[in-house]
Structure 1
């Protein structure tokens, strides 16, 4: 039995064959989603064998059948989709502006409503925005990681550290100016992500 030199390419080619009745743009989107999912999984689990990564995605026929059913098409004889197979096909349905808006407006929400429920909603906005950013198909893995660090993790750590230290937000800087500085970092990072997005 011949062993493929590039199992990822063979896997994607199999999905493309099975999904040949999909419109070309939707088929290319599906293949891009799968390729990115494979890339992210391999980066997160470098010790995992490529066979395991591909097996976790599911059978190419199942993925194609799921994509066809979502597009309103039919795949004769194709099995119904499984949870693992539907994930890549369903990702990226959220407009790229949504996670960026949630991440950006989480801080002003806390600034405008410093007492409850402001901080609670601000943190929820930040978490949801980070999750949507990480599951989007509009950015690469490196851009997602950088974006989450600059818009969610970094500002949260800086603000928490500042609030716990003696003297309040960054000793010697008024709280309003400190918050404006953090907002500038978050908004600048969101603007960079917006420009770097894949359409």
Structure 2
């Protein structure tokens, strides 16, 4: 049976193999960043299984593909935390930006029910979803879950209410329904913030 150290070594070897097209220094930097991330995560969550920690990082092929795609822009796939000589993160959006945009889209529509509230709410939702999908801070599964829960679900619920007239009637039920949806958006944003790659 493989130990945690064996699983980590195998994972990093798979990333190294998949990222063989990267220049050696960038590849080593990527591996060092991943190893540091694994170490920090295990220190923060000692009860977490190593398999779960590695699954949160994502598939080695995806990490390598992201690093290769970003090699042209001068950054690595996993940002270094305070490592001297690490590349600048120019052009990167802070991970809080898409989460705030997705969460604040509903309050905008609640506070400003007439134009421009719904327009800005939809704009925030779409831009937030795009920024979330293009971010390097989450795995594909986390991005998909985030977009489905924070962008698609509220849009589907609101459209269903508006088209069927079966939505909550009156001010109090409508407010409670909106607050429940806001709680779902906030909870999902908090979860995405907690599982992000640092």
TM-score by length of 2: 0.61
Where structure 2 has 5 or more consecutive residues not aligned to the other structure, the ranges are 1-12, 38-57, 76-87
- Provide, for residues 72-104 of structure 1, a one-character-per-residue CA deviation record: whole Å limited to 9, x for no partner: xxxxxxxxxxxxxxxxx9898111100000000
Is 1:67 the counterpart of 2:74? The answer is yes
Give the aligned partner of residue 13 of structure 1.
20
Structure with higher Rg: it is 1
Give the aligned partner of residue 115 of structure 2.
116
Q: Alpha carbons of 1:36 and 1:67: their partners in 2 closer, same or farther (altered >3 Å)? A: farther
User: How many residue pairs end up in the alignment?
Assistant: 151
Is 1:153 the counterpart of 2:152? The answer is yes
Between the aligned partners of 1:176 and 1:37, the Cα distance in structure 2 is 45
Q: Alpha carbons of 1:66 and 1:196: their partners in 2 closer, same or farther (altered >3 Å)? A: closer
The Cα shift of 1:175 comes to 1.3
The Cα shift of 1:18 comes to 6.3
Q: Alpha carbons of 1:189 and 1:11: their partners in 2 closer, same or farther (altered >3 Å)? A: closer
Q: 1:121-140 residue pairs with structure 2 within 5 A?
A: 121-140=120-139
Give the aligned partner of residue 179 of structure 1.
178
Q: Tell me if structure 2 keeps the 8 A contact 1:92–1:136.
A: no
Where structure 1 has 5 or more consecutive residues not aligned to the other structure, the ranges are 1-5, 41-53, 69-88
Q: Which has the higher contact order (CA 8 A, sep 6+)?
A: 2
Q: Alpha carbons of 1:39 and 1:95: their partners in 2 closer, same or farther (altered >3 Å)? A: same
Q: 1:98-113 residue pairs with structure 2 within 5 A?
A: 98-113=97-112
Q: 1:51-66 residue pairs with structure 2 within 5 A?
A: 64=71, 66=73
Return structure 1 stretches of 4+ with deviation > 2 angstroms.
6-11, 24-29, 35-40, 62-66, 89-92, 169-173
Q: Alpha carbons of 1:66 and 1:96: their partners in 2 closer, same or farther (altered >3 Å)? A: closer
